[in-house]
Amino acid sequence: MDLGISGKTALVTGASRGIGLAIARILAAEGVRVVGAARTVTPELEKVAVAAVSVDLSTRDGARSVIDQALAAVGGIDFLVNNVGGDTGNLSLDGFLDVDDEQWQTIFDLNLFSAVWTTKAALPSILERKGAIVNISSINARMPTGAPVGYAEAKAALNQFGKRLSEELAPRGVRVNTVSPGPTATPVWTDPDGFGGKVAAASGVGHSDLLTALPGQFGIASGRLTEPEEVADLVAFLLSGRAANIHGADHVIDGGTLKAV
Ligand SMILES: NC(=O)c1ccc[n+]([C@@H]2O[C@H](COP(=O)([O-])OP(=O)(O)OC[C@H]3O[C@@H](n4cnc5c(N)ncnc54)[C@H](OP(=O)(O)O)[C@@H]3O)[C@@H](O)[C@H]2O)c1
C-alpha cells in the first residue's frame, strides 16, 4: 500500500530506541524527513533521521526547544508523534502509600505534559500544513497496573487529551489519534537492566523466565509480545492520507490482551 507521505516532515519523540526508533525508521523508509528526539542520540537514530536532537522532554523548556530545532531543520512539521513516555525502569515498584509526589510528577511530566508542551509549540505549523498527530499511550490507560504508580493514570489522561484535541482540531483539518500498545518487545522488557529486569528481580524469577511467562501473565491471546515495528506500521498508516477520516480514536495493538468488548 502506498501511503503517499513521501516528502512530508515528522517529529518523533523518544526516537533513540524501541517504538520511537521503529516509527522513525518506517517513516524514513516511506520518504518522510524525520527529526528524532531523545536524551541520547544513538547511531541507529542518526542513520534514519535528517536531524537528531538531544533533549530532556520531561521539561517544558526541552519540549519547546525541540520544536524550534525541528522547524529549523526541516522548515515545518506535518506529523508529530508524541511517543516519549514510560521510563519506568527508573521508577519505584512500591504501592500507592509508599510513593512520593515526586514520582507522580515525574510520570505525568513525561507521559502527559511532554505531549501537551510539544503539541502546543508545534501546532501553528501543523495547522498550516493540515497535518496529523499520533500520541502513543498504552492499554494501561484502560487497564489498571500495579506499578509504577501513576503510569496508568497519566496514560488515561493522555487518551483524553488526544480526544479533546481532536474535537477542536478536526474541523480545522488536523487529525489526532492515539495508539495504545500492549506489552511490546522493546528494551523496557528485553533489557535485563530495564523495567523487565526490575520486575523479575522483585518477583524472584530470572529475566528470561519472566519474558517467557509474560504472555500468559498478561493474557495475551496471540501468545506473544507486540513487536515495535508492528506499532510503527499502525502509526504510519494513521498519519497518512489513507486514514483521512480517522479522527480522535484510540487504536489498541495488544495481541488481544484487553478483553472488554
Ligand atoms: N514497551 C511496552 O511494553 C509499551 C507498552 C505500552 C505503551 N508503551 C509506550 O510506548 C512509548 C515508547 O516506549 P518504549 O517501550 O519504546 O520505551 P523505551 O524503549 O524505553 O524508549 C523510550 C524512548 O524515550 C526516550 N526518553 C525517555 N525519557 C526521555 C526524556 N526525559 N527526554 C527525552 N527522551 C526520553 C528514550 O531515550 P533516552 O533514554 O536516550 O532519552 C527512548 O528513545 C512510551 O510512551 C511507552 O509508555 C510501551
Instruction: Read off the pLDDT of residues 228-253 as tens digits, 9 standing for 90 and up.
Output: 999 999 999 999 999 999 999 999 99
In tens, the pLDDT along 63-122 reads 999 999 999 999 999 999 999 999 766 788 899 999 999 999 999 999 999 999 999 999
Pocket test residue of 23, 25, 39 for ligand 1, highest count of atoms within 8 A of CB: 39
Map out the domains of the chain as residue ranges.
Answer: 9-182+228-252, 185-225
Report the pLDDT averaged over residues 213-224.
97
Classify domain 9-182+228-252 at the CATH topology level. Answer: Rossmann fold (3.40.50)
Model confidence at 146: pLDDT above 90: no
Report the pLDDT averaged over residues 11-34.
98
What pLDDT score does 91 carry?
A: 80
Report the pLDDT averaged over residues 171-183.
98
What pLDDT score does 114 carry?
A: 98
Closest CA to ligand 1's atom 36: 14
Q: Is the CB of 40 under 6 A from ligand 1?
A: yes
Please report the atom of ligand 1 found closest to the CA of residue 17.
Answer: 43
- Contacts with 48 (C-beta within 8 Å, 6 or more apart), sequence order: 21, 24, 25, 28, 34, 36
Closest CA to ligand 1's atom 37: 38
Pocket test residue of 81, 179, 186 for ligand 1, highest count of atoms within 8 A of CB: 186
Q: How far is the CA of 84 from the centre of ligand 1 (A)?
A: 5
In tens, the pLDDT along 161-174 reads 999 999 999 999 99
- Contacts with 83 (C-beta within 8 Å, 6 or more apart), sequence order: 12, 13, 14, 15, 19, 20, 23, 136
